[in-house]
Structure 1
Amino acid sequence: MTTVEEAEKLVLAQTRDYGTQSLPFEQALGYVLAEDLKADRDLPPFNRVTMDGIAIKYAALENSIHIFRIKATQAAGDEPVQINEEDDCIEIMTGAVLPASVDTVIRYEDVEIIAGSASLYTRDIKKGQNLHLQGVDKKQNDVIASSGQLVIPAIISVAASVGKTHLLVKKMPRVVVISSGDELVDVDETPLPYQIRKSNSYTVKAVLKLHGIDADILHIPDEPTVTKEKIQYCLQNYDVLLLSGGISMGKFDYVPQALEESQVEKLVHKVAQRPGKPFWFGRHKNGALVFAFPGNPVATFMCLHRYFLTWLNATLGLPSKEPTYAILGKDFTFQPALQYYLQVKLISNEQGQLIAMPVEGNGSGDFANLADTEAFLELPLEKNNFKVGEVFKVWKFNHDF
């Protein structure tokens, strides 16, 4: 049986380059930049005032001038107003351009303004204070966001600030999420006692949405001819097929046979893990990839995060994340010689340590637990008994919001 580490290597050996596309910057959230973003001008583009108050020429203080005539008031966005006399000042607001004839800003809290004059309360004033100087952050043509970064809200802000209306990003793979099984009915139907509503497909689609992929959904009945026909169609029209269910040893699990007959090369089948032992992964001759997850909700959810999202990040060229580790907060025993993914809640103690508290459910079909937990704690297959205080790797799944 394949180990988790071996399965991960086989999956990561199948990374792809799906090219690039140009998107309106406000639609690029969750994609990966395929170009450097450069400043179209200095940042800030002018000497920017950072406090409401008055602007003076510092030489006036050196000449013992401490009362100033207010010549004008200048708001952010106004054309700069110049002074002509040393004892003139300008009332000026945060964000305004500093006029060339002044060089220091004194905040309102340090002056008294009466009848058009501003008197200083303090002598503790430094030349050039309360200013954000032109180009101190970035110079024109400096790179302000590098290719290969995930487009997060901060990158959207950067793009807007430099007038970048469209961003070149890496294309996402075309993904279809396929469920199978005659026991599944639509969400808006009332199931019979022996039926359940479709949920896995919507769970997978929702996770993918958080990662910038708008996947299609397809359901296949337990009929071998239809199963083969639908899978062959998807292999020709999508880059990645994510299947949920139909890959175990059941009499009506037609998916493995359909994949084999469709010339999908099996690279992984059955992994020494729980949940998700029947996980199947393969490659079609045209390059399409197939991730087939067990139908149990927790198994689907875990394999999606452990394998597909790991592959997606590598395919998009995102840097490998440093693994997160947590301290087991309660003794736990697991007897089978399998790598176990324990559902946990994460808490931080006063020492800044991350503690993983087990939330024991009723197997891989207990999907209700997913709403109450935040991560899987990866417990190695070499052990059966796990003690409080031991440290293990964590795979977070409810941290994207």
Structure 2
Amino acid sequence: MIGYEEALALLLRDVVPLDTESVAAFDGAGRVLAADVRSPGFLPRFDNAAMDGFALALGDATGEAGTEWPVLGSTAAGDAAGQPAGPARQGAWEIMTGAVMPDGLDSVVPVERVDASGGTDGTPPTRIRLREPVRTGANVRRRGEDIAEGARVLTKCERLGPAQIMLLAALGIERVPLVRRPRVALIATGRELAEAGEADEGAWIHDSNTPFLRLRLHAAGAEVVARERVGDDPVGFTAVLDRVLAQRPDLVISTGAVSKGRFDFVPGSLRARGADVRFHGVAIRPGKPLLCARLREGPLHVGLPGNPASCAVGLRFFVEPLLRAMLGLPRERPARLPLAAPVHARANLRTHLHAMLEGDGEGRLAVHPLPRQESFRLAPFLSSQAWLVLPEAGDGDTVIKPGQAVDVYPPGHLESLAWQRESA
């Protein structure tokens, strides 16, 4: 077996970011930008009123309480700019929120801060009186005050979320350059596997790894382009591999048949078809039998163990770093949080544990390892909020005491850590 860092280096050895494609901004939600995005114009595009009221030309002066102004016109959002000039600036203009500021007018007094007279429901008032002073520039949104023309608004490797897409829409940017999503093919091995509704008499088990992987891969930014199931059959496995490769995946993931038993045929089958097996066996817990190979057709192949926790660890700490490299993202960095309970670090094994996060009344976070984490168990997944990772201990097992800082990762590389407040 080799260590985690050596295995990860071999896995990522020749991986480069994938191609760029132009995508409609709204359709790119959750995806990664391939280049910086700069603003094609100003935001706001023009000076406009921040609220309903009356536009004034104050210049260097202050509109004093009690002063009166004739109302010379009205403008609403969507009306063209222009209008008052010369003597017309001596009056006020009724204006609505978002309307272009008429030429030469520089301030807005809110409608609730004036006494208005004249006019009817269908026409503006004829005169207003200020109830309180109004400073120059009040309640006006200036052109480019939010974003200047040519400013970098989004950065390469940034993900598009609701806020980013809202900004792109406001700037009128219809399409953006995104990194193509990694294409992944899934192969589940084992004659004992059955899907819901398929099982009959016999020692079968339901395939839980495939639906888990499909959902987690989608959350990790990948696209599952093929999924197959095959029994403990090297010939059938080779045929299935040929079928999924026809879908042009960037990565093939298999589950099961990578250990040392008589029916663990994946390593031998890959070698027989000319694959370059980079490693088989990593000093981690759970998931030691994990395998990585470069297929002669080009894609990488990651063979994950079949036990659920082992499969999940292989996905999170090998496949997801691989996807990050394909997406052009930098290596993920863990959070460092104090332990809330003692844990055992295994000699010469990097250990991965389901964990919960809790915050006390002062906002201090701690990480709690969950109990009963054998690799076959599914129940810990239901409570898990994070992965707690312990480095390899020295020559013997080591107890890490409460209060010591440890590495903590969110459930997925594109997700944030979530926590719950300590119960009263």
Q: TM-score, normalised by structure 2?
A: 0.86
Matched with 1:339 is 350
Please say if residues 374 and 397 of structure 1, whose CA atoms lie closer than 8 Å, have aligned partners that are also in contact.
yes
The answer to whether structure 1 residue 330 and structure 2 residue 341 are counterparts is yes
Matched with 1:223 is 233
Identity rate, percent: 28
Distance 2:240 2:63 in 1: 86
Distance 2:237 2:345 in 1: 36
Q: Deviations over 1:295-333 (max 9, x none)?
A: 111221122111111121122212334421111111223
Match of 2:268 among 254, 257, 264: 257
Matched with 1:76 is 77
Distance 1:46 1:338 in 2: 62
Residue type of the alignment partner of 2:388: L
Please say if residues 235 and 284 of structure 1, whose CA atoms lie closer than 8 Å, have aligned partners that are also in contact.
no
Residue type of the alignment partner of 1:135: G
Q: Deviations over 1:100-133 (max 9, x none)?
A: 131012233433334423322222x321122221
Q: Deviations over 1:273-304 (max 9, x none)?
A: 11111111111234310111111112211221
Matched with 2:121 is none
Please say if residues 298 and 366 of structure 1, whose CA atoms lie closer than 8 Å, have aligned partners that are also in contact.
yes
Matched with 1:171 is 180
Please say if residues 345 and 391 of structure 2, whose CA atoms lie closer than 8 Å, have aligned partners that are also in contact.
no
Distance 2:364 2:325 in 1: 29
Matched with 2:422 is none
Distance 1:60 1:158 in 2: 34
Distance 2:59 2:348 in 1: 79
Shift of residue 393, structure 1, vs aligned partner: 0.7
Residues 228 and 86 (structure 1), Cα distance of their counterparts in 2 relative to 1, 3 Å cut? closer
The answer to whether structure 1 residue 367 and structure 2 residue 381 are counterparts is no
Residue type of the alignment partner of 1:370: F
Matched with 1:312 is 323
After superposition, residues 56-205 of structure 1 pair within 5 angstroms as 56-59=56-59, 62=62, 66-80=67-81, 82-83=83-84, 84-115=87-118, 116=125, 117-123=127-133, 125-190=134-199, 192=201, 194-205=203-214
Shift of residue 225, structure 1, vs aligned partner: 0.9
After superposition, residues 240-255 of structure 1 pair within 5 angstroms as 240-255=251-266
Residues 184 and 126 (structure 1), Cα distance of their counterparts in 2 relative to 1, 3 Å cut? same
Matched with 1:212 is 221
Please say if residues 179 and 201 of structure 1, whose CA atoms lie closer than 8 Å, have aligned partners that are also in contact.
yes
SS of the counterpart of 1:241? strand
Distance 2:89 2:22 in 1: 53
Distance 1:75 1:321 in 2: 50
Match of 1:273 among 264, 273, 284: 284
Distance 2:261 2:72 in 1: 87
Please say if residues 182 and 223 of structure 2, whose CA atoms lie closer than 8 Å, have aligned partners that are also in contact.
no
Q: TM-score, normalised by structure 1?
A: 0.91
Shift of residue 395, structure 1, vs aligned partner: 1.5
Shift of residue 134, structure 1, vs aligned partner: 0.8
Of 342-351 and 268-277, deviating more is: 342-351
Distance 1:63 1:252 in 2: 88
Residue type of the alignment partner of 1:8: L
Distance 2:381 2:49 in 1: 50
Q: Deviations over 1:350-383 (max 9, x none)?
A: 4433211121134111122112111110112215
Distance 2:347 2:331 in 1: 30
Distance 2:405 2:306 in 1: 30
Runs of at least 4 residues off by over 6 Å: none
SS of the counterpart of 1:151? coil
SS of the counterpart of 1:385? strand
Distance 1:69 1:361 in 2: 79
Shift of residue 61, structure 1, vs aligned partner: 5.4
Question: What is the aligned length?
Answer: 400
Matched with 2:421 is none
Distance 1:343 1:60 in 2: 65
After superposition, residues 17-36 of structure 1 pair within 5 angstroms as 17-36=17-36
SS of the counterpart of 1:22? strand
SS of the counterpart of 2:223? coil
Of 199-208 and 162-171, deviating more is: 162-171
SS of the counterpart of 1:9? helix
Match of 1:391 among 398, 405, 411: 405
| CA RMSD between the two structures | 2.5
Q: Deviations over 1:222-258 (max 9, x none)?
A: 1121012222443463220011111112222211111
Residue type of the alignment partner of 1:228: T
Please say if residues 63 and 135 of structure 2, whose CA atoms lie closer than 8 Å, have aligned partners that are also in contact.
no
Shift of residue 394, structure 1, vs aligned partner: 0.8
Matched with 2:305 is 294
SS of the counterpart of 1:98? coil
SS of the counterpart of 2:7? helix
Distance 1:255 1:60 in 2: 81
Please say if residues 309 and 375 of structure 2, whose CA atoms lie closer than 8 Å, have aligned partners that are also in contact.
yes
Gaps of 5+ in 1: none
Distance 1:46 1:231 in 2: 59
